[in-house]
Structure 1
Amino acid sequence: MMVSHGPPFRDRKDAGRQLAQALIGRAPENPLVLGLPRGGVPVAYEVACELDAELDIVFVRKLGAPGYEELGIGAVIDGADPQVVLNDDIIRQIAPNPAYIEAETRRQLREIERRRQLYLGDRQPASVGERNVILVDDGIATGGTVRAALKGLRKAHARKVLLAVPVAPPDVVQSLAAECDGIVCLASPDPFYAVGAHYMNFDQTGDAEVTHLLADAALHAAASRPGASTE
């Protein structure tokens, strides 16, 4: 794990560029860079451009607690067989009704489908089977969403999975180490507080920005391929 303590990131673009520099020499061969929408996509875009890599997104949604949607009781990752990963500690504390968990999972899968249509249209997400993957987010708080994504990538038979984030709590970084082949984390402060506390500008990333960045990254990757026309 690479950890360096520095000043707060200006914004997601700055964080992505710093993360990209840290990945030089550590990134696997011919990686597929996957951003967690929405906030992870601007960070992943900078990484993909620096590495001349393909960029796509992985659809994961947090499962909110009853009456407290910001409190994650787990997460669901999309796929032919959607994976639900629950936070056992929180589940024990609040003991949500199983029917609530099932309904919340269906609700988040509907939101995933909405976003897939919005971001990808008729295009299918990139296949991760036998690919070297770099999973990128703008930061990690509890790790529930990222953990679900890592488990889903493993089930989809990714060859190697490297987790790359600008900032995360030390204990969460340690707990995620067993779920992937490596972690690059630029800052791991203790106490942690919140992801946004480490950014000067942490404005919400909109759907339009995600769509634009995916399209722009596709053009960048095409232009970087051997034999691509420079006219």
Structure 2
Amino acid sequence: MGALTEDPAFQDTTFVVIDFEATTPAGRPAQPIEVAALALHRTSTGWIESGRSTTLIRPPDFAPVTWANTARSGLTAGHFANAPAPAEALGALDRRFNGRRRYLLVAQHAATEANIIHHQRRHCPRLARVDLIDTIPLAKHLVPGLDDYRLDTLLTHFAIPHPADRHRAAADVEVTARVFTLLIEAADRDGTLSDLADLVKVAGRTAKANRPAQQQLFDL
């Protein structure tokens, strides 16, 4: 272990790797059609998995599954015949966040997940208050010089096999979690991140629900 993983605040944090698949209707926010999450925390003996979940989410009528979704993930409209609505699916995920724990979400290009969660916050108010760690700036900090920092590039760099069902939420969560833990190992080796605060400074993203409301400049 290095300074980062020995930090008590780091060890007291549950890192929830999360990924959504979504439809992207014109003129509207992305609508989730699948979500997966994998919870990890670090102990003195290594990483411990403390929970996981995955579910399809029935899209609204204005955002049906398209040929582009099918080409990307293999999901078709038929997969969602019995899928739960967003309120049910995201509500169940939200209830897994125990108020006594400290959480950080982990995602590849976390802005995408942050936006989906924020637009669905009425269904997952606790989840919407959890800040995020983005693996892209973390990788840029720890593994400089790559041609790009897409997930596939990071998988190749770390010799992580590309899953057959890449672009399904559960598969992407698994490999993102592997990338994240390897990046944390790299941080321990090079010593540039000494504690959780350093990690957040480099790769943190504040959840939109936690940002201060913009004050009006003028009274009208």
TM-score range relative to shorter protein: 0.3 to 0.5
* Structure with greater Cα Rg: 2
TM-score (norm 2): 0.35
TM-score (norm 1): 0.34
